[in-house]
């Protein structure tokens, strides 16, 4: 006999998340093709002949896609919490402000905040819930460690990190990651060409970075220009917080996050 959980509201939230993602997947490629997220700046030292090529962000303060992504994540977080709401009702318990769908990447922290397997803390996130507790625990991100996978790659962890940041600290940053190199055309005699510089570990899409260096001899060059277009791998990121490092997700992984939450809603509907 099933619990006949009423998860219509959770399904509505997933459906809304999917609609927002449709807009994001449709408009973002168009935006990138029509409005390059980066410009190129040349800095030439006429005394030494050294020329630095800088990558300059050109869309600072454009929050449209970040807001779409934040609303997408918010709806998925709500869908998960509505599962717990339905379980509280089915358990005959009193719904409180502490009740929510737990998402943890460390088992010890899960036990501390939620309670040991099968026996939730009455004052924890699943307080007095008697149904579905084992199923919730079985889908925790820390379970991926048993498969040799980083729990931070779990779709639920994406929801957790971005939802918390969006509620309490900051809008997710639109992250257009440049891939490959820019070809540079010029008039002059180039005598030295440094390799393309890699981005530092603390790279940010809001800062300028040197991506190439070359030297001209005699130290005279003109008509410097970039040719071709950078390949952009788009995504979103949120800054480090506490012990958690910067967290990012690529746009081509976001649909899987939505599908994962939809799968969980459907799964709990069958118990």
- 89-144 pLDDT per residue, tens: 999 999 999 999 999 999 999 999 999 877 788 889 999 999 999 999 999 999 99
User: What pLDDT sits at residue 198?
Assistant: 66
Write down the H helix ranges in 97-190. Answer: 107-113, 133-138, 155-168
Q: CA-CA distance, 88 to 217, in Å (whole number)?
A: 75
Query: 3-class SS at 208?
Result: coil
Q: CA-CA distance, 97 to 87, in Å (whole number)?
A: 14
- 153-175 pLDDT per residue, tens: 999 999 999 999 999 889 998 88
- 19-64 pLDDT per residue, tens: 999 999 999 988 888 877 888 899 999 889 999 989 888 765 578 9
Q: Give the end-to-end CA distance of the chain in Å, rounded to a whole number.
A: 8
User: What pLDDT sits at residue 11?
Assistant: 98
| Six token digits for residue 142 | 């820390």
Stated as kind and residue range, the H or E segment containing 189 is strand 183-193
């Amino acid at each position: 006999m099933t619990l006949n959980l009423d998860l219509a509201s959770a399904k509505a939230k997933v459906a809304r998340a999917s609609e927002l993602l449709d807009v994001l997947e449709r408009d973002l490629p168009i935006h990138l093709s029509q409005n390059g997220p980066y410009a190129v700046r040349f800095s030439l030292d006429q005394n030494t002949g050294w020329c630095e090529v800088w990558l300059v962000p050109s869309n600072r303060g454009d929050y449209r896609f970040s807001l779409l992504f934040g609303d997408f994540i918010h709806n998925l977080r709500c869908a998960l919490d509505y599962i717990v709401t339905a379980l509280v009702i089915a358990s005959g318990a009193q719904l409180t402000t502490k009740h929510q769908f737990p998402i943890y990447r460390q088992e010890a922290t899960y036990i501390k905040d939620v309670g040991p397997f099968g026996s939730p803390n009455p004052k924890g996130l699943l307080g007095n819930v008697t149904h579905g507790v084992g199923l919730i625990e079985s889908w925790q991100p820390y379970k991926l460690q048993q498969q040799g996978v980083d729990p931070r790659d779990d779709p639920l962890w994406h929801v957790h990190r971005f939802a918390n940041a969006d509620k309490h600290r900051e809008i997710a940053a639109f992250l257009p990651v440049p891939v490959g190199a820019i070809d540079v055309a010029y008039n002059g005699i180039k005598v030295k060409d440094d390799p393309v510089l890699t981005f530092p570990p603390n790279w940010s899409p809001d800062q300028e970075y040197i991506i190439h260096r070359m030297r001209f001899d005699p130290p005279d060059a003109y008509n410097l220009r970039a040719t071709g277009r950078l390949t952009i791998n788009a995504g979103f990121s949120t800054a480090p917080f506490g012990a958690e490092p910067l967290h990012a997700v690529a746009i081509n992984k976001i649909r899987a996050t939505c599908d994962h939450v939809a799968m969980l809603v459907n799964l709990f509907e069958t118990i």
